[in-house]
Structure 1
Amino acid sequence: MNETHICVVGNVATQPVYRESAVGTSARFRLAVTARYWDRDKRAWTDGHTNFFTVWVNRQLAVNVAACVEVGQPVIVQGRLKVRTDVREGQQQRPSADIDAVAIGHDLSRGTAAFQRPTKSEAAPMATRPEPDWEVPRPTETPDGNPAERPASHVEVT
Structure 2
Amino acid sequence: MFNETMVTLQGRVGGDVVLRQAGGAPVANFRVACTPRRLDRATNAWSDGPTQWYSVSAWRALAEHCAASLHRGDAVVIHGKLDMRTYINKAGVETLDVQLEAMTVGHDLCRGTSTFHRARAAQAVPGPAEAAAA
CA distance in 2, matches of 1:125, 1:92: 49
User: Which structure 2 residues correspond to residues 12-91 of structure 1 after superposition, within 5 A?
Assistant: 12-89=13-90, 91=92
CA distance in 1, matches of 2:10, 2:27: 21
Shift of 1:118: 1.9
CA distance in 2, matches of 1:22, 1:40: 52
Q: Which has the larger radius of gyration?
A: 1
5+ residue gaps, structure 1: 127-158
**TM-score of the pair, normalised by structure 1:** 0.73
Q: Residues 125 and 89 (structure 1 numbering): CA distance in 2 closer, same or farther, change over 3 Å? A: closer
> Number of paired residues?
125
Q: Residues 125 and 49 (structure 1 numbering): CA distance in 2 closer, same or farther, change over 3 Å? A: closer
Q: For residue 104 of structure 1, what is the amino acid of its counterpart?
A: V
Q: Alpha carbon RMSD of aligned pairs, Å?
A: 1.9
Tell me which moved more, 69-78 or 43-52: 43-52
Which structure's residues are more often strand, by fraction?
2
Which residue is equivalent to 2:131?
Answer: none
Q: CA-to-partner distance for each residue in 1:101-139, whole Å, 9 max, x for gaps?
A: 000001111111111112355x5998xxxxxxxxxxxxx
Q: For residue 65 of structure 1, what is the amino acid of its counterpart?
A: C
CA distance in 2, matches of 1:15, 1:5: 24
Shift of 1:21: 4.3
Q: CA-to-partner distance for each residue in 1:64-114, whole Å, 9 max, x for gaps?
A: 000010010100000001011001346021111000000000111111111
Which structure's residues are more often helix, by fraction?
2
**TM-score of the pair, normalised by structure 2:** 0.85
Q: For residue 34 of structure 1, what is the amino acid of its counterpart?
A: T
Which residue is equivalent to 2:129?
Answer: none
CA distance in 2, matches of 1:124, 1:38: 53
Find runs of 4+ consecutive structure 1 residues off by over 4 angstroms. 123-126
Q: Percent identity?
A: 34
Greater length-normalized contact order (CA 8 Å, ≥ 6 residues apart): 2
5+ residue gaps, structure 2: 127-134
Q: For residue 116 of structure 1, what is the amino acid of its counterpart?
A: H
